[in-house]
Structure 1
Amino acid sequence: MLFEDEAGQDLKPGKGRTWSTRGRTPLVTVVGKGSGRVLMAGMICIRPGHETRLIYRTQTYSGRTGEKKGFRAREFADLLTSARRQLGDVPLIVVWDNAGTHHAKPLREFCERNSDWPTIVKLPPYAPDLNPVEGVWAHVKKSLANLAPCTTEDLTPLVKNRLRVAVADEGFWDAVRKVSGGTTLLCERWAHGAYGCRWFRVNRENAAEAARLVSPCALLRVVAEPDLRADAEVPDDDSTAFASPLSPGELVHKEYPGGAGSLSDVVSAGFSLLLADAAICRWCAVVPDPDGVNRAQWESPEQLLRRTEQAPASQPGPARFACGPVRARRSAPSPTPASTT
């Protein structure tokens, strides 16, 4: 069964809460003109006994005269054909809304010519809550909040980055077990850490129990043989402190946004080991919902690492001051990426 939907993202970013110095509202410089958009069409593929998948296509609309502003019947037919090929040439049940393009004559003729494998089911009007792909678009737009690309060429790779996903399936847990001979830590975060996190020390014996305890839609981040500091050299970046020894199971920890002040501060709080957050960005996956649908979309490990190391200046990092809404400020297009002031 395939759930299909379309969406678009323009150059004006959504506003989100972020950190700044108390009393100083952060400003995001945005492009003052232009109608470019990145168009997205996605399918969540659900098949009993198989991994849930997201198949998607993107198009770039630059606002030029005569340029198509959305997906047409031919693109939808190609998307259906590609999905069937990737899923093993099996019959498909396609669930989508009543968008005008879905009623186009070329698309109807395509479905009639191939009536043996696509069965079309149309959702009732104004029923986005029945289509799980809406959750994908919500994540994409939320993760792009406060980012202000100047051109569609800058925006397209950011959108594709958000659509790539790694899933905490059985293959993920098998890989965790294989590296669990030494010290392997697992971090479970909710909403990018906005609602807290949990830490586990995982080994071959308790990996199955950890898989049962983690919550749906949580982001799991794994670090094998971590560089746990127990000396006077304290990381300057975001870090997490642990008590020694690290016993298998859930760990007592304390987060230090922006780094701990000194080792004495860490020791006085009852901790002795420090782990820099940058060390846990290389291996991550998202936990699917109990029904098998992976509604929370995150970056693949390679993309997450690249975004962490090359984050644009327009995406502010956490600070130790105050949290509040961002205000947008228009400007003329600039050849360089916009920045937050």
Structure 2
Amino acid sequence: MGTTRIKVIDLSSSQKEIKTSRKHARLAPPAEDEVRLRRLAERAEKLAGVPKLEKEEKEKRHQKPQATDERLASSAADENLVVTEHAEGDAENIEPESAIPAKSPLSKVAGKKKSARRRGSNYEKAKMLVEDKLYSAQEAFELLPKTSFVKFDPSVEIHVAVSEKSIRGAVSFPYFTDEKKVKRYLVFADKKPQTDVKNVIFANEKTIEDLESGKLKPGKDFDTVVAGPKFMPSLTKVAKILGPRGMMPNPKNGTVTDNFEKFLQDSASASTQFKSDPSSPVVHIKIGKLSQKPEELSQNMKAIILAIGHSKIKKAQITSTMGPAIRVDTASL
């Protein structure tokens, strides 16, 4: 038969474990009495030390505020005083901390948010030439070349603040120098109108299906949609396609009409279309180049003012590319 091994471990003794068997069982001396006496002595020492510990904790509690007060006072004194050495290194100057500006990350973030857009030195010099007043049209266009600092022939723009949000129309500038953009029309009519205008697509009910399927695309195949009042209920099906591109027919801009010949003739002769900004009631439009004569620019400005209407205009200002704005009195035109 095989032998079984038993491990005997005495946790209270420092001796290593002793391996024994049935044949020879060598056990370490138990010393049970010594272990019991040692445990009793440890308990007695613990019980005797409880009041001492309580006294020490009470003393520490009374001493802690004093220590903390002393530490706070010393740290405050160190923080309030900054020692700086002279260049010679012989004497020391003491300065209050309030004299040193405090820098915190929050102040940096706030400073970044409040910082305005920085302009170049050339712009600042040009802006100093413009007074804070209303200029007549003649004075404004005479001052405009002096405020330009670019090396190319800049464009001249007018920014008109209007009283209505949805303003759009077309204007023909008498002295506009840019090439006219070829316009393409989509006309919903019962009969094909007689006109000499080119790039006209005559549409009917079946054309709405082509718009829905994507065979006809706004901006790619046509730029303006004109419709008779009869077709407006059917065009509501494609309002999601035409509306975001600003091509949905609207009586305000004259694209809902029965007189197609007159609309096409007037629109084709007009060089530029304008509309107010979607985010604010302001019309931005280019009226020419700075190389043009002031009289020509003044006549172009007069044409856009008349197209919008004096009653709808709150204020206007002109500017060249990258130049400062000049406020203009529209009544002087």
Output the TM-score relative to the length of structure 1.
0.20
Bigger Rg, which one: 2
Higher helix share: 2
Higher strand share: 1
